[in-house]
Amino acid sequence: MSKVTPPKYVKQVLITLQSRGYLAYLVGGCVRDMILGVHPQDWDICTSALPEQVRELFPRTLTVGIRHGTVTVLINSHAVEVTTFRSDGSYADHRHPETVSFVGDLTSDLSRRDFTMNAIALPPDGLVIDPFGGIEDIRRGVIRCVGEPPRRFEEDALRMFRALRFSARLGFGVEEETLAAIYEKAPLAASLSPERVRDEIEKMLLTNRPQILLTVIEAGLLDRYLLPRRGEPASELIRLTALPKKALPRWAGLCAVLERHGLIASAGEFLSALRLDGRTQRCCGDCCELLRTEPPRTPKEWKKLLNRYGVDTASCAAQCSDALQSRRCYAALRAVLKSGECFSVRHLAVTGDDLVELGLRGKELGEMLNFLLEYVMDYPENNRRELLLQLVRGTEES
Ligand code: ATP
Ligand code: MG
């Protein structure tokens, strides 16, 4: 297999379980990643030991997931999830099994897992157990449901998002029947909570292939959040790859594309339906607005924009403008930021208190600060306390 091997603390958990006569295997994403030669984000173990038996074996455990058979074993500063072999009962809501039962055998546990590549088990010593041909699918770069795809998506509609997310992350194709079932069962996605959908979309946005969202939209997985289709945002979604791999610019870029193609009424509406936080909603809304206008041409225009929208939104809009409209705004904005020139009353060399001392109050004071800001935006070298105070005195006298 690959050169990636489990760390000592993981081996320790496996060996402890095994030495007490239980079966224990590495399973799921970590095995898939090891085969791919990638370091796993987390290590999952499945075992024949019941949750209480796992707890007895390790001095430090957490039991938040115990209802689903998961005990988190803590070793030094590490956490390993140990889950009892399980099979899921029937699914009432396309998301959660009504019951889970602990079963004695590994194959039943593997058969409840979503994709063949995620249904491979690796014992601490001995041969890998791969009843669904996951290794071959990984070798060929294919995402395939374990069992019948339509039924598996009926059980849990989130799996449709997971399939496309893994496709984007790993650069794998989705096997034909699995993909056809996503198109067929997409309406079930409407029953998923917005938070789960949001998290999946964000994970897709942060891969090297955010254009997977075209398939997500085309299949109808986002119908609950989109207006009836008009334009097709195909080529523009590819442009999201040119954005930094950060949530804010990628959400903003997505909103701009969807809005331009009439798929959403506004960024605010779309993002609030998906339960994004207020800051992201505001920033993306402002970005979309800015992208509809001509970008600044002079440093002063950039400073005005920075003053009005703040650094985060201005940066986000500049990055989106570069990626989606082939401009070179971000470099211009960075140059302005790097100059250290003042673009906000907070950076003026005088404060409101200074102006109070000179007798200014209320509206007059606010107007004076804005006047000074305009002035130093034109003459950045004059953002000096004495000079500005003199200017205020002069204006007051005249
Ligand atoms: P990642 O690297 O993103 O964590 P992962 O494959 O480890 O990928 P997890 O969400 O951590 O994904 O789940 C761990 C394992 O649990 C999966 O590999 C899969 O075997 C199983 N699994 C997770 N979610 C589902 C689901 N919705 N339906 C069926 N099996 C699932
Ligand atoms: Mg995982």
- Closest-lying ligand 1 atom to the alpha carbon of residue 40: 2
Helix (H) and strand (E) counts in the chain? 19, 10
Say if residue 297 is in the same domain as residue 392. no
Q: Region 370-378: what's the mean pLDDT?
A: 95
Q: Region 237-262: what's the mean pLDDT?
A: 97
CA distances for 13 relative to 57, 124, 197, angstroms: 9, 10, 34
- Residue 359 in any domain: the answer is yes
CA distance 28 to 292: 45
- In angstroms, what is the span from residue 222 Cα to ligand 1's centroid? 22
CA distance 145 to 113: 9
User: Using CA positions, which residue lies closest to atom 9 of ligand 1?
Assistant: 29
- In angstroms, what is the span from residue 56 Cα to ligand 2's centroid? 25
Place of tokens 């909603």: 281
Say if residue 28 is in the same domain as residue 132. yes
Pocket test for ligand 1, best of 72, 113, 152 (most atoms within 8 A of CB): 113
Say if residue 233 is in the same domain as residue 327. yes
pLDDT digits (tens, 9 = 90+) for 334-351: 999 999 999 999 999 999
Contact assessment for residue 85 and residue 78, using Cβ atoms and an 8 Å cutoff = no
Say if residue 293 is in the same domain as residue 249. yes
Beta bridge partners of 158: none
- Residue 156 in any domain: the answer is no
- Residue 201 in any domain: the answer is no
In this predicted structure, what is the pLDDT of residue 101? 80
292 has a pLDDT exceeding 70: yes
Pocket test for ligand 1, best of 4, 26, 33, 118 (most atoms within 8 A of CB): 118
- Residue 377 in any domain: the answer is yes
- Please report, for the domain that includes residue 38, its CATH number: 3.30.460.10
What are φ and ψ of residue 53, in 5° steps? -70, -35
pLDDT digits (tens, 9 = 90+) for 1-43: 568 899 999 999 999 999 999 999 999 999 999 999 999 999 9
User: Using CA positions, which residue lies closest to atom 15 of ligand 1?
Assistant: 28
User: Using CA positions, which residue lies closest to atom 6 of ligand 1?
Assistant: 29
**Nearest in space to 113 (alpha carbons), one of 168, 156, 174, 67:** 156
150 has a pLDDT exceeding 80: yes
Burial (0-12, 13-18, 19+ Cβ within 10 Å), 125: exposed
Q: What is the mean pLDDT of the chain?
A: 94
DSSP per-residue codes, 253-321: HHHHHHHHTTS-S-HHHHHHHTT--HHHHHHHHHHHHHHTSPPP-SHHHHHHHHHHHHHHHHHHHHHHH
Say if residue 277 is in the same domain as residue 309. yes
Closest ligand to C-alpha of residue 28 is 1
Say if residue 110 is in the same domain as residue 2. yes
User: Using CA positions, which residue lies closest to atom 18 of ligand 1?
Assistant: 28
- CB neighbourhood size of 89 (10 A): 12
- Enter the tokens of residue 259: 């809005």
**Nearest in space to 217 (alpha carbons), one of 205, 232, 200, 236:** 232
In this predicted structure, what is the pLDDT of residue 395? 80
CA distances for 149 relative to 88, 129, 206, 358, angstroms: 16, 22, 26, 75
- In angstroms, what is the span from residue 121 Cα to ligand 1's centroid? 13
- Closest-lying ligand 1 atom to the alpha carbon of residue 155: 28
Domain stops at, among 339, 354, 377? 339
SS (H, E, C) 222-251: CHHHCCCCCCCCHHHHHHHHHCCCCHHHHH
Element (H, E) at 211: none
- In angstroms, what is the span from residue 29 Cα to ligand 1's centroid? 6
Q: Region 200-224: what's the mean pLDDT?
A: 97
User: Using CA positions, which residue lies closest to atom 2 of ligand 1?
Assistant: 29
- Residue 235 in any domain: the answer is yes
Closest ligand to C-alpha of residue 33 is 1
What are φ and ψ of residue 215, in 5° steps? -65, -40
- Please report, for the domain that includes residue 278, its CATH number: 1.20.58
In this predicted structure, what is the pLDDT of residue 97? 73
In this predicted structure, what is the pLDDT of residue 398? 64
CA distance 73 to 55: 8
102 has a pLDDT exceeding 90: no
Strands 44-47 and 24-27: antiparallel
- In angstroms, what is the span from residue 113 Cα to ligand 2's centroid? 12
In this predicted structure, what is the pLDDT of residue 96? 72
- Residue 209 in any domain: the answer is no
State which residues form the domain around 362: 345-397
Q: Region 304-323: what's the mean pLDDT?
A: 97
108 has a pLDDT exceeding 70: yes
Say if residue 258 is in the same domain as residue 384. no
CA distance 56 to 155: 33
Tell me the pTM. Answer: 0.92
397 has a pLDDT exceeding 80: no
Say if residue 16 is in the same domain as residue 100. yes
92 has a pLDDT exceeding 80: no
- Residue 165 in any domain: the answer is no
Of the listed ranges 97-101, 130-134, 142-146, the least confidently predicted one is: 97-101
Say if residue 311 is in the same domain as residue 356. no
CA distance 197 to 94: 14
CA distances for 124 relative to 1, 23, 129, 195, 337, angstroms: 14, 10, 12, 37, 54
Say if residue 313 is in the same domain as residue 371. no
Contact assessment for residue 261 and residue 232, using Cβ atoms and an 8 Å cutoff = yes
User: Using CA positions, which residue lies closest to atom 8 of ligand 1?
Assistant: 29
Instruction: Identify the residues whose C-beta falls under 6 Å from ligand 1.
Output: 28-29, 41, 44, 113-114, 118-119, 156, 158-159
Q: Which is more confident, 103 or 338?
A: 338
- Enter the tokens of residue 282: 């505001």
135 has a pLDDT exceeding 70: yes
- Residue 217 in any domain: the answer is no
Q: Region 244-252: what's the mean pLDDT?
A: 98
Closest ligand to C-alpha of residue 38 is 1
pLDDT digits (tens, 9 = 90+) for 166-202: 999 999 999 999 999 999 999 999 999 999 999 999 9
Domain stops at, among 297, 312, 339? 339
Which stretches of the chain are assigned E, i.e. beta strand?
A: 24-27, 44-47, 61-62, 70-75, 78-84, 86-88, 100-102, 121-122, 142-143, 173-174
Percent of the chain with pLDDT over 70: 98
In this prediction, residue 137 has a pLDDT band, given cuts at 50, 70 and 90, of very high
- Enter the tokens of residue 356: 């109070």
How many domains is the chain built from? 3
Say if residue 261 is in the same domain as residue 325. yes
Pocket test for ligand 1, best of 41, 114, 120 (most atoms within 8 A of CB): 114
Closest ligand to C-alpha of residue 166 is 1
Domain stops at, among 99, 117, 145? 145
- In angstroms, what is the span from residue 12 Cα to ligand 1's centroid? 23
Q: Region 268-274: what's the mean pLDDT?
A: 98
Say if residue 57 is in the same domain as residue 134. yes
- CB neighbourhood size of 134 (10 A): 26
